[in-house]
Amino acid sequence: MMLKDPSSKYRPFQTVQLPDRQWPDRVQRHPPVWCSVDMRDGNQALIDPMSLERKRRFFDLLVRTGFKEIEVGFPAASQIDYDYVRELIETNAIPDDVTIQVMTQAREDLIERTFEALQGVPRAIVHVYNATAPVFREVVFNVDRQGCIDIATHATRRIREQMARYPDTDWTFQYSPETFCFTEQDFALEICEAVMDVMAPTPRHKMILNLPTTVEVATANVFADQIEWFCRHVSRRDSIIISVHPHNDRGTGVSSAELALLAGAERVEGTLFGNGERTGNLDLLNLAMNLYAAGVSPGLDFSDIHHTQREVEYCNQLPVHPRHPYSGDLVFTAFSGSHQDAIKKGFAARANNPQGFWEVPYLPVDPADLGRSYEAVIRVNSQSGKGGVAYLMEQHGITLPRRLQMEFSTAVQLIADQTGREITGDMILECFRKEYLFDAAPLALRDPVVTTADGRARLRGALQTPEGEFTLQGSGNGPLSALVDACARLGLAFDIADYHQHSAGDGADSEAYAYVEIRVGTRQLFGVARDQNVLTASLQALVCALNRAIGKGWLALESRQNVTRITLKD
Ligand SMILES: CC(=O)SCCNC(=O)CCNC(=O)[C@H](O)C(C)(C)COP(=O)(O)OP(=O)(O)OC[C@H]1O[C@@H](n2cnc3c(N)ncnc32)[C@H](O)[C@@H]1OP(=O)(O)O
Ligand SMILES: CC(C)C(=O)C(=O)O
């Protein structure tokens, strides 16, 4: 049960005294060095660790994405990891610009086996770690501060010796004071200095100090302070690369990395989509895309993010959440009416200024940059409004006038409310067809002929009704008003409230869509028609409106004394 007073069980986190901290005023203008630890930290957290085949696939994906440093495993820990490292080396599968990294505990036998696995590799980063925080020193290792330093320095010495045994390889050494974020600052510095004393890095041959939030225990600003403090106090700054390795226990792995970079870190370790122990590692894709969305090229390519996600899901055998930043199946989708309306307007504005800065409401980046289609952006359910429906219709070449958008969206809303489900683009089209593009009935316009003379249009034709055919004859300022006049002579009184038309498609086969809104008494509704001839389309749209009005009972066909009349119903 949750405690009423959690302070009796949980301590507030420690903060860092750094009143002149610099990182809050900095802006990230270049990407960090990226290191994927998917095949190590990610792998060690999987229900079923990756097989050789899944590791191969992951490696290929990471290389294609642009990673230059890839932690491929813990070869002393498992035969699969060992065999995988051997396979990479023996099949020359490591591109010239990629460096593999492997991890080992600070134990002599494991170090030896690690180097055995690496024999013949052109370049490699050997990564050793030991936990440094008080609870680990006391509970896990039962050592004091000096004992903890001895574990690290002893391992570093062994690694130096092993590196000397294989001089043909270009070695880089990496040390991680595991649990850095809850280790005393001075002790974290002391142990790293001791390790550096043994490894003796130089500006030409740097080593990596990798500072993890092994378990996130504080807000991201505290981690940034820890990194800035560390960078200011560490010696040989020009001979080390400061790397960070955030986890995500508080859900702030990405923020921790971002602020740590401002605070002086140059390199980040993490995984694609954030797989990793407990709540996961830093999500590298999220961090990279945050940079991209701020105009900084991350140096990683997620142009086909869907493919990337599917590959990672396959390799990890874990699903990616549909709302995962930048990639989830639903992140470029708006269901709610006001969002859809704003997105639709944003896309329309963008069409007029395709080279300008990206400014489409609610979409932090252009989905097309990630290989996502615009069609998936707007989806319709009961939370949607006219904008979303109109957007999907536009995808099919049908541009509804604003008042028709309002009218039609009530029909779609009815379906959404009745079904309680998403309404697909096809369902909306079908609804539109049923509502507006039905075969003309009960009224049909036959053989209309329009002539113009002296600025007036004259219309002749026939109106087919269930009771028989009536001659139509009328004149007006244009063909539509001529048809209105002809109908008035049959006793059918209405006028035109709105008219729009557009062509759909290009070339000779393109069709015209016509939208005619009629006013019948105090009520208004639209009729729609399409035809290769725009005049025919507009006349048929008017007849469609009349038919809809009859269908709604606003108008009635009445036969009295063998004469059929269409009359207005109250
Ligand atoms: C934060 C991280 O992600 S660190 C990476 C962790 N990753 C993994 O552990 C995945 C791979 N690990 C393994 O396959 C195994 O743990 C092995 C092969 C490394 C070691 O296996 P075992 O020898 O059976 O030990 P076990 O798994 O129980 O690990 C605990 C032992 O390692 C010691 N240990 C833990 N970390 C370290 C370290 N960095 N350096 C030296 N010793 C360590 C513990 O003190 C404990 O020793 P003890 O048995 O003498 O008390
Ligand atoms: C970098 C290391 C040891 C790590 O995986 C962690 O601390 O989470």
Name the closest-CA residue to atom 29, ligand 1.
Answer: 105
What are 160-204's pLDDT values in tens digits?
Answer: 999 999 999 999 999 999 999 999 999 999 999 999 999 999 999
Instruction: State the pLDDT at residue 537.
Output: 96
CB 513 near ligand 2, within 6 Å:
no
pLDDT band at 86 (very low <50, low <70, confident <90, very high): very high
Quick check: 560 pLDDT over 70?
A: no
Name the closest-CA residue to atom 6, ligand 2.
Answer: 214
Distance 245 CA to ligand 2 centre (A): 7
Rounded to an integer, what distance in angstroms lies between the CA atom of residue 107 and that of residue 73? 16
What are 407-433's pLDDT values in tens digits?
Answer: 999 999 999 999 999 899 899 999 999
Quick check: 558 pLDDT over 80?
A: no
Of ligand 2's listed atoms, the one at least distance from the Cα of 178 is: 7
Quick check: 277 pLDDT over 70?
A: yes
3 state SS for 301-365:
CCCCHHHHHHHHHHHHCCCCCCCCCCCCCCCCCECCHHHHHHHHHHHHHHHHCCCCCCCCCCCCC
Please list the residue range(s) of the chain that carry CATH number 3.20.20.70.
33-316
CB 225 near ligand 2, within 6 Å:
no
Distance 212 CA to ligand 2 centre (A): 6
pLDDT band at 387 (very low <50, low <70, confident <90, very high): confident
Task: Answer yes or no: are the C-beta atoms of 532 and 512 closer than 8 Å.
Answer: yes
What are 109-150's pLDDT values in tens digits?
Answer: 999 999 999 999 999 999 999 999 999 999 999 999 999 999
**Radius of gyration from C-alpha coordinates of the chain:** 35
What are 457-493's pLDDT values in tens digits?
Answer: 999 999 998 878 889 999 999 999 999 999 999 888 8
Pairing of strands 468-476, 123-131: unpaired
Of ligand 1's listed atoms, the one at least distance from the Cα of 212 is: 1
List the beta bridge partners of residue 501. Answer: 514
Distance 246 CA to ligand 1 centre (A): 20
CB 245 near ligand 2, within 6 Å:
yes
Name the closest-CA residue to atom 3, ligand 2.
Answer: 178
Quick check: 375 pLDDT over 80?
A: no
Pocket test for ligand 1, best of 72, 79, 85, 105 (most atoms within 8 A of CB): 105
What are 310-332's pLDDT values in tens digits?
Answer: 999 999 999 999 999 999 988 99
Quick check: 371 pLDDT over 70?
A: yes
Task: Determine whether domain 444-568 maps to CATH 3.40.50.2300.
Answer: no
Instruction: Please state which architecture CATH assigns to domain 33-316.
Output: Alpha-Beta Barrel (3.20)
Q: Which residues are annotated as a binding site?
A: 41, 245, 247, 281
Distance 240 CA to ligand 1 centre (A): 26
H-helix or E-strand spanning residue 70: strand 69-73
pLDDT band at 383 (very low <50, low <70, confident <90, very high): confident
CB 176 near ligand 2, within 6 Å:
yes
Mean pLDDT, the chain, as a whole number?
94
CB 210 near ligand 2, within 6 Å:
yes
pLDDT band at 561 (very low <50, low <70, confident <90, very high): low
Instruction: State the pLDDT at residue 570.
Output: 52
Task: Answer yes or no: are the C-beta atoms of 13 and 217 closer than 8 Å.
Answer: yes
Please list the residue range(s) of the chain that carry CATH number 3.30.160.270.
444-568
Of ligand 2's listed atoms, the one at least distance from the Cα of 281 is: 8
Find the range with the poorest average confidence among 224-233, 537-546, 550-559. Answer: 550-559
pLDDT band at 515 (very low <50, low <70, confident <90, very high): very high
Instruction: State the pLDDT at residue 448.
Output: 96
Quick check: 283 pLDDT over 60?
A: yes
Find the range with the poorest average confidence among 162-176, 385-399, 533-547. Answer: 385-399
Of ligand 1's listed atoms, the one at least distance from the Cα of 103 is: 5
Site of tokens 């002790």: 187
Pairing of strands 563-568, 555-560: antiparallel
Which of the pair, 383 or 81, is modelled with greater confidence? Answer: 81
Name the closest-CA residue to atom 32, ligand 1.
Answer: 105
Rounded to an integer, what distance in angstroms lies between the CA atom of residue 279 and that of residue 434? 50
| In 458-533, alpha helices (H) | 479-489
Which residues form the pocket of ligand 1, taking CB atoms under 6 Å from any ligand atom?
41, 44, 74, 77-78, 105-107, 129-130, 140-141, 151, 178, 214
pLDDT band at 219 (very low <50, low <70, confident <90, very high): very high
Residue 163 makes CB contacts below 8 A (sequence gap 6+) with 115, 126, 169, 171, 173
Return the biggest CA–CA distance within the chain: 114
Instruction: State the pLDDT at residue 569.
Output: 59
Pairing of strands 267-270, 468-476: unpaired
Distance 103 CA to ligand 2 centre (A): 10
Distance 151 CA to ligand 1 centre (A): 13
pLDDT band at 506 (very low <50, low <70, confident <90, very high): confident
Tokens standing for residue 73: 């495993």
Pairing of strands 33-36, 267-270: parallel
- Name, of 82-96, 478-492, 548-562, the range with top average pLDDT: 82-96
Average pLDDT rounded to a whole number, residues 32-56: 97
Quick check: 562 pLDDT over 70?
A: no
Instruction: State the pLDDT at residue 162.
Output: 98
CB atoms closer than 10 angstroms to residue 523: 12
The share of the chain scoring above pLDDT 90, in percent, equals 83
H-helix or E-strand spanning residue 37: none
Rounded to an integer, what distance in angstroms lies between the CA atom of residue 413 and that of residue 427? 12
Q: Which residues are annotated as a binding site for Mg(2+)?
A: 41, 245, 247, 281
Rounded to an integer, what distance in angstroms lies between the CA atom of residue 306 and that of residue 313? 10
CA dist list (Å): 504 to 392, 401, 560:
14, 14, 43
Quick check: 376 pLDDT over 90?
A: no
Instruction: State the pLDDT at residue 568.
Output: 56
The share of the chain scoring above pLDDT 70, in percent, equals 97
Question: Roughly how many angstroms between the first and final C-alpha of the chain, as a whole number?
Answer: 66
Distance 109 CA to ligand 2 centre (A): 20
Which of the pair, 354 or 336, is modelled with greater confidence? Answer: 354
Of ligand 2's listed atoms, the one at least distance from the Cα of 179 is: 7
User: Sheet holding 456-465: strands in order across?
Assistant: 444-453, 456-465, 468-476
